[in-house]
Amino acid sequence: MKIACINVDVDPLICYYAIHGIETAGISDDPVYIHGIRRFIELFDKNSVKGTFFITSYGFSEKNSEILREIVHRGHEIADHSFSHNYQLTRLPKDEIFQEIKKNKDFLEKTAKITCKGFRSPGYNSSKELISVLKSVGYTYDSSLFPSISYYLAKWLLIHLKKLSGHESKSIISSFADAFGRYTPEFIDKTVRDTKKEGTFAELPMTTLFPLANIPLIGTSIIAFPSFLIDLMLKISKNRSFINIEAHGIDLCDAGESPHFDPLKGKQPDLAFSLERKMERFQHVIDFYKNNGFEFKTLAEVAEMKLNGKLNS
């Protein structure tokens, strides 16, 4: 069986301000919540795709939390993306990491009436302490591994360019070791002495392509790359048995639909392209995998298959 997953990181707009060193007092009517999530729901429904939404609940209010219940009603998964999207999460003491995860978990489960199964870390940073916390709260998978040295080098460069320009980015690189790893789902709680013993907690890495460069197949590349390069990446990827495409809520937002996007124009690549192009590109990707025999699943479903020995590595 060949499996494709599309998951959406729903980062509040203030996270993007933080990346670019832009100060803000907060945003009450966040367009990522209002427009981005809804367009992904509509895209998934149109194509009978079940997706996973990684939610950061900081900034959610009763006014916009109804969208969480709609995600569940449409058959999609809600997963944990930390409460405040603190890029320093892995540098916090373990008890503070626990509070950040537990607070988000409690909000999501109470609001959407679901049981969270998985997590993705802000900025894709991870640590042994974080994984230990995730297991302690009952999660069965993590999807923070981003095996892409090209991404981490670009991130390092952006952080330092911002610093030189006088705008301190809140983004960090916890460890360059996070840039390496396998491309297939694997248990990360096997014992060293007994590698034949199956684990109970899976890592579901995001998809990157081309050896050494490891170019990520994510929403930004789907939108921004030339069409010939995207088609090449898709062609190469069809030989994989597991595809995990990460997108962001902002990927399906239009720069002109909210004044809150104005400070990010010229800085955030997701906003440099028309909504029409974005929708066409995502539709093209979905059509490609459907036409090549891939079955779309949520990440929780993939983790469950791995746990039950029904997933080939």
pLDDT band of 152, cuts 50, 70, 90: low
* Crossing angle between the packed helical segments 94-112 and 128-136, to the nearest 10 degrees: 40
Q: What is the mean pLDDT of residues 207-220?
A: 88
Give the residue with greater pLDDT, 234 vs 21. Answer: 234
- Domain ranges in the chain? 2-307
Question: Would the pTM of this model clear 0.85, i.e. be above it?
Answer: yes
Residue position matching structure tokens 């679901």: 114
Q: 152: which residues sit within 8 A by CB, 6+ positions away?
A: 146, 173, 176, 178, 179
pLDDT of residue 190: 47
- The reported pLDDT for the residue numbered 193 is 42
Mean pLDDT of 10-30: 81
Q: Return the pLDDT at 191.
A: 41
Burial status of residue 266 (CB atoms within 10 A of its CB: 0-12, 13-18, 19 or more) = exposed
Model confidence at 298: pLDDT above 70: yes
- In this prediction, residue 309 carries a pLDDT of 86
Q: Which residues of 273-283 are buried (b: 16+ CB within 10 A; e: fewer)?
A: beeeebeebbe
Q: Which residue has the higher pLDDT, 52 or 152?
A: 52
The tens digit of pLDDT for each residue in 63-114 reads 778 999 999 999 999 999 999 988 889 889 999 999 999 999 999 999 999 9
Kindly report the number of other CB atoms within 10 A of residue 92's CB atom. Answer: 16
Q: Mean pLDDT, to the nearest integer, of 144-167?
A: 62
pLDDT of residue 280: 98
Flag the least confident range among 135-144, 154-163, 235-244, 281-290: 154-163
Residues 6+ apart with CB under 8 A from 207: 183, 216, 217, 237, 240, 242, 243, 244, 245
Confidence bin at 25 (pLDDT 50/70/90): low
Q: Which residues contact 139 (CB under 8 A, 6 or more apart)?
A: 80, 116, 117, 118, 119, 201
**pLDDT (0 to 100) of residue 227:** 96
Q: Model confidence over 241-292: pLDDT tens digits? A: 999 999 999 999 999 999 999 999 988 888 999 999 999 999 999 999 999 9
* Of residues 163, 116, 164, 111, the one with CA closest to residue 138: 116
Class of domain 2-307: alpha beta
